Amino acid sequence: MDPASPDYMVAKNPNAKYYRIYGQMENVGSNTRVSDKYLQDASYLRIKNITLSYSVPQTLLKKAQITSLRFFVDVENLATFTSLPKGFDPESLSWSYPFYRTISFGLNLTL
């Protein structure tokens, strides 16, 4: 097929169920055409680290002779919101091991 002909970029069967596999001799240029078939939206929102804490009021701590008391919970890699397929990491744009979710509990006590 001649690249100068007007129907060079027109599909031979636009309603075909499967994509056409072009042979090297029949249509060499078709195998190197730019296509957006495999492009995906890689936008995402990731909650990487969140910490919640509660400091007990001093009025409750004076009776036990405690200077300060604080409880906390820390979560790393809480959630990722994306339209990419499951298991696909939007930061590296590849299939890889997922980030581990880590949950930590604790308290800070000062006497």
**Residue 77 in domain:** yes
**Residue 79 in domain:** yes
The shares of helix, strand and coil residues in the chain, as percent rounded to the nearest 5, are 10, 35, 55
Q: Do the Cβ atoms of 51 and 76 come closer than 8 Å?
A: no
Q: Is the pLDDT of residue 58 over 80?
A: yes
**Residue 96 in domain:** yes
**Residue 87 in domain:** yes
Residue 31, CA distances (Å) to 22, 41, 49, 78 in order: 7, 24, 45, 43
Name residue 56's amino acid.
V
Which residues have CB under 8 Å from 85's CB, separation 6+? Answer: none
**Residue 55 in domain:** yes
Q: Rounded to an integer, what distance in angstroms lies between the CA atom of residue 81 and that of residue 28?
A: 41
Q: Note the pLDDT of residue 62.
A: 87
Range of the domain at 88: 44-110
Give the number of domains in the chain. 1
pLDDT in tens, 90-104: 887 677 777 889 999
**Residue 54 in domain:** yes
pLDDT in tens, 11-48: 666 676 766 565 555 555 555 666 777 788 888 999 99
DSSP state of 31: G
Q: Is the pLDDT of residue 4 over 60?
A: no
Q: Note the pLDDT of residue 15.
A: 74
* Cβ-based burial of 77 (10 A; exposed 0-12, middle 13-18, buried ≥19): middle
Q: Output 9 or 52, whichever has higher pLDDT.
A: 52
**Residue 80 in domain:** yes
